[in-house]
Amino acid sequence: MMLTYVGQRVLKLSTINFVDLARNSIMELKNQFLTSISLKFTSPPEPLYCLMDRLQMKEVVDVVLTNAIESLEGATGTIEISFGTEKYKTSSFSIAFQSDDLEDGLYSFCQIRDTGNGIDIEDLPKIFEPFFTTKFVGRGLGLALTVGIMRAHHGALTVESIPDQGTTVRILLPAITG
């Protein structure tokens, strides 16, 4: 676990369609989606290929999706998943974890937005810290583990949240061009 947090776990990189990876995560987590949760999945017309370790990036998507589900606390709500590729200036990221060597450039993303409780403004800077949680005891490692995975992939996570309105997380990886 410590190797993952510091981004030193061995990667098995291959070119993978980010959309398919997220779709597989949803299928495996579908028993957690209560009937009160509306899921909107918008995929681009073309595959969105990224260089990634399938198991580690699936773990990142699973953590973000699980947090979105839990933020709804059984209430009626929506989780929207979308994808794209955009040019980013790393200095413009909202509350984020980003790899130390992240550069401005073209990034592919998986965006997960929920209409849940949102995150209090004073808690936002702490969400990537190990063992920080506003949930129940025994939680708080999910986002901390994603830090190392994103570091190893030269990627980033951006988080925007408004209390009582929801949270948007973008998982960004360097785009494959050409």
Asked whether residue 163 carries a pLDDT value surpassing 80, the answer given is: yes
Global pTM?
Answer: 0.88
User: Could you tell me which residues come within 8 angstroms of residue 49 by beta carbon, excluding any fewer than 6 positions away?
Assistant: 15, 16, 17, 18, 108, 176
Beta bridge pairs of residue 113: 80, 168
d(CA 101, CA 153): 10
Would you tell me which CATH number, out of the four given (3.20.20.150, 3.30.365.10, 3.40.50.10440, 3.30.565.10), belongs to the domain 2-174? 3.30.565.10
Give Cα separations from 109 to 2, 60, 112, 163 (angstroms): 26, 12, 10, 24
**pLDDT interval class at 128 (50, 70, 90):** confident
User: Could you tell me which residues come within 8 angstroms of residue 92 by beta carbon, excluding any fewer than 6 positions away?
Assistant: none
CA dihedral 56, 58, 61, 66 (to 10 degrees): -100
- Select the more confidently predicted residue: 4 or 67: 67
Look at residue 64 and give its three-state secondary structure: helix
CA-based angle 76:141:8, to the nearest 5? 130
What would the mean pLDDT of 99-114 be, rounded to a whole number? 90
**pLDDT interval class at 95 (50, 70, 90):** low
The position carrying tokens 């990627």 is: 155
Asked whether residue 91 carries a pLDDT value surpassing 50, the answer given is: yes
Per-residue pLDDT of 9-61, as tens digits, reads 689 999 999 999 999 999 988 887 778 899 999 999 999 999 999 999 999 99
Predicted pLDDT of residue 162: 94
Domain boundaries, the chain: 2-174
What would the mean pLDDT of 131-140 be, rounded to a whole number? 64
* In the chain, beta strands by DSSP E: 13-17, 37-42, 49-53, 77-88, 95-98, 105-114, 156-162, 166-174
Helix (H) or strand (E) run with residue 59 in it: helix 54-71
